[in-house]
Amino acid sequence: MMKLNLNNKVLYLTKDKASLYSQLNGEAYTLKNISDLRDNISTDEISPVPIMYNFDERLKDYPHTGLKVEGDLPIKFGEIAKQKFSVIVAGKRYGKGSSREHSPVAEFHAGVRLIIAESFEYIYRQNADNIGLYTSTDFSLLNKIKNNEPIDLEDILKDRDTLTKKILTSKGLLGLGKKVYKGDDNRLHHKPEVELPNTPMTFAEKILYRHHEFQPNSPYPLKSGLGGFIKADWRFIHEAYTGMAMSMLHKEYPELTTLYNPEKIIAFEEHFGYRHRSKYHIEHNLIESFDTLSGAHTQFSKKYNIRSHGQLSNEDGSEGISHSLMAEKYALPGEVVVGTDSHTTHSGALGCLAFGVGTTNLANALVTGVVRYNIPDVVKIEVKGKLASHVSSKDLALSILKEPKIKNGNFVGKIIEFCGEVIRSMSIDERTTLTNMALEMGGFCGIVAPDTKTIDFIKERRNYNFQLEDWMKADAGAKYSDSLIIDASTIDSMLSSPGDPSNGIAFNSLEHEVKIDIAYGGSCTAGKRSDFDQYLEVLIWAQEKKLNIHESIKFFLQVGSLDVKKYCDQKGYLKILKEMNIELLNPQCGACCNCGPGSSTKKEEVTISSINRNFPGRSGPGSVWLASPKTVVASAIAGKITSFEKLKQMYVE
């Protein structure tokens, strides 16, 4: 039996900075010494965005340099490697947020070989598996580690599926993929004919059965938790990960000349186009490093003849954010869409199974066409009643995030089907806000069954006549592993206080005045047509009242795609923005990844933003409140956090 030999250097990530500093100064702790382990440690804290120009062993100096504890960043450059920690221990939902594989890669190169936590986010754990970093929820292992006893791998892997065990005892996912498909001209897709189970099924289950890579000896019917592969209709990658993927592939396949079905692969350059306007990138001399990432991305796209949506040639920005363009141009109901970004879930609003994966998984999919996954449970969020006219889908998303089932992690790694009369009444743009933020709810992905609004959206955006098929819905009597019913009539304008999107609070429950320095509206979540309708509703009202943006506020709006910018022009919005001296930024992830206008530059700065995440360091060193588009603009006018309804009350004639 294989064994894992570890030193007894264990780092307990706690809420108490004094005990964390003590450990970093060489004091050995045990679980008994720890009062409170940190929950919800995000990948933004494990591997902050600005270090993503590294994608190899250079990452060893960066793990947890963004970890914020009681306002401090205790773990400094090179600290984990210097102290030779081999085990990290944390609380619930370790690895929340971005799908970036840089996080486990940084930990691995720093010498960490095992992460023990109460629970893990789905993508982080899969990324760790794929590179050979062990994870466990068994805290009893700490006794053996303390005594310098070797650990049987079976003790670490006892609750994992067969495929995961194969990956962790092979040379990672790429090694296994090469071994499985070596010498096979077709490489994959030996799919036997499989009949659907003769039982009521959820909509998501129907897509899974149509895309799961069944082998002659595959278990049937599909069982939750089973490891396997799923065929992707679309695979996409963006420049933050292309260099890493290219390095991996060329190491594993030195003579690689073609990718599997390249016409169904898309490359996006969308993250760092405003780096020349990022104070952090300028002050830390990072412009050239990110230029190198961009160059690797372009080289990869050209070498393998991949369709590419890149930077604009004559102005800042790009053609569009990947999620915006996938929804506008590519994804269709019933398909499977995978991308190297956690918010790939965005396109689920069109009725496709869209989910994010790590770089290794996508690299393997580029040459095989299939994606590693564990079959998820399917849960249901049903929204009943009617939203008030001033309440948006962003308010609904923030309200769902504060639900106990969500905060406790009940939906982690599960497919979330959104349904109910409120969902049916929403536009596709509004639905994408929910499916986008299904990731913040812990979901594997979010999905909405397609309907006539889906058909109309596809026709309007692509001039394509899509025909719904009878199977594209949940069956009556379909069983869900869990459910959540939301009464829409109880929801008001919502906020999320800094630190985590689940810190939901109704605006009317805000107990103190919060002055702001920056207001930012944009990103994939809030750079859509419907979002700009909401931004401009407030601005047009302000113009009529002869109001303007508060003199102390830096305010930016950013479109998710050039299509949205064209829409704004046609609606007369650009003229209004110009009249009010508001800068409209071209498509780019920008401030949502701390790279461009809208990011904070000082610890004391407070931002209100319509993006999807407010983890520490996500948008600069300051603090970020999340809100709906209307609340962002109303707050920019007032100079403090306020709702549009409250602002209107202040100026009643």
pLDDT tens track for 588-622 = 998 999 899 999 999 999 999 999 999 999 999 99
Mean pLDDT of the 207-228 span? 88
Residue 501 and residue 538: Cα distance in Å, rounded? 24
Q: Which of 186-195, 206-215, 558-567 has the lowest mean pLDDT?
A: 186-195
Residue 615 and residue 6: Cα distance in Å, rounded? 31
Q: Which residues contact 80 (CB under 8 A, 6 or more apart)?
A: 11, 60, 63, 64, 107, 110, 111, 112
Among residues of the chain, what percentage have pLDDT more than 70? Answer: 97
CB 61 within 8 A of CB 88: no
Among residues of the chain, what percentage have pLDDT more than 90? Answer: 85
The top-scoring range by mean pLDDT among 214-228, 271-285, 293-307, 523-537 is 523-537
Top-level class of domain 3-160: alpha beta
Q: Tens digits of per-residue pLDDT, 55-81?
A: 889 999 999 999 999 999 999 999 999
Dig out the tokens for 559 from the structure.
Answer: 């479109």
- Residue 159 Rama label (left phi>0; alpha psi -120 to 50; beta): alpha
**Per-residue model confidence (pLDDT) at position 653:** 63
Q: How many CB atoms lie within 10 A of CB 518?
A: 24
**Per-residue model confidence (pLDDT) at position 215:** 75
Say whether 593 sits in a helix, a strand or coil: helix
Strand-pairing partners, residue 337, are 234, 354
Sorted by where each begins, the domain ranges of the chain are: 3-160, 188-372, 377-490, 495-650
| CB-count burial class (<10 Å; 0-12, 13-18, 19+) for 218 | middle
Q: How confident is the model at residue 1 (pLDDT cuts 50, 70, 90)?
A: low
Is a pLDDT exceeding 80 seen at residue 194? Answer: no
Residue 163 and residue 144: Cα distance in Å, rounded? 26
Is a pLDDT exceeding 70 seen at residue 185? Answer: no
Of the candidates 188, 185, 191, the residue with the CA atom closest to the CA atom of residue 177? 188
Strands 227-231 and 370-374: antiparallel
Fill in the amino acid letter for 190.
Answer: H
Residue 174 and residue 452: Cα distance in Å, rounded? 41
CATH of domain 188-372: 3.30.499.10
CB 120 within 8 A of CB 164: no
Mean pLDDT of the 86-105 span? 95
**Per-residue model confidence (pLDDT) at position 180:** 58
* DSSP letters for 42-108: BHHHHS-GGGTT--SGGGGG-TTTT--BTTB----TTHHHHHT--EEEE-SSBTBS---THHHHHHH
Q: For all residues of the chain together, what is the average pLDDT?
A: 94
**Per-residue model confidence (pLDDT) at position 181:** 54
**Per-residue model confidence (pLDDT) at position 426:** 98
Is a pLDDT exceeding 60 seen at residue 556? Answer: yes
What residue has token string 């499977």?
A: 336
* CA 55 centroid distance within chain: 19
Say whether 592 sits in a helix, a strand or coil: helix
Residue 105 and residue 479: Cα distance in Å, rounded? 38
What residue has token string 């920019």?
A: 636
- Residue 546 Rama label (left phi>0; alpha psi -120 to 50; beta): left
What residue has token string 């990072």?
A: 286
User: How far from each other are the two terminal CA atoms of the chain, in whole angstroms?
Assistant: 79
| For residue 221, cis peptide bond before it (omega within 30 degrees of 0) | yes
- Please compute, for residue 75, the number of CA atoms within 13 A of its CA located in the half-sphere on the CB side: 30
Asked whether this chain's domains 188-372 and 495-650 adopt the same fold, the reply is: yes
Is a pLDDT exceeding 60 seen at residue 122? Answer: yes
**Per-residue model confidence (pLDDT) at position 458:** 98
Q: How confident is the model at residue 140 (pLDDT cuts 50, 70, 90)?
A: very high
Is a pLDDT exceeding 90 seen at residue 84? Answer: yes
CA 249 to each of CA 123, 258, 302, 363: distance values in angstroms, whole numbers, following the listed order = 20, 11, 16, 7
**Per-residue model confidence (pLDDT) at position 186:** 44
**Per-residue model confidence (pLDDT) at position 19:** 94
Q: Which of 259-273, 287-301, 535-549, 608-622 has the lowest mean pLDDT?
A: 287-301
**Per-residue model confidence (pLDDT) at position 183:** 42
Fold of 495-650: Aconitase; domain 3 (3.30.499)
What CATH architecture does domain 377-490 belong to? 2-Layer Sandwich (3.30)
Residue 321 and residue 563: Cα distance in Å, rounded? 11
* DSSP letters for 217-281: T--SS--TT-EEEEE-SEEEEEHHHHHHHHHHHHHH-TT----SSGGGEEEE--SSTTGGG-HHH
Mean pLDDT of the 302-330 span? 95
**Per-residue model confidence (pLDDT) at position 53:** 86
User: 373-393 as b/e, with b when 16 or more CB fall inside 10 Å?
Assistant: bbbbbbbbbbbeeebeebbbb
Strand-pairing partners, residue 115, are 88, 135
The residue count for the chain: 653
pTM: 0.94
**305: which DSSP letter?**
T
Mean pLDDT of the 386-409 span? 97
What residue has token string 């109910």?
A: 420
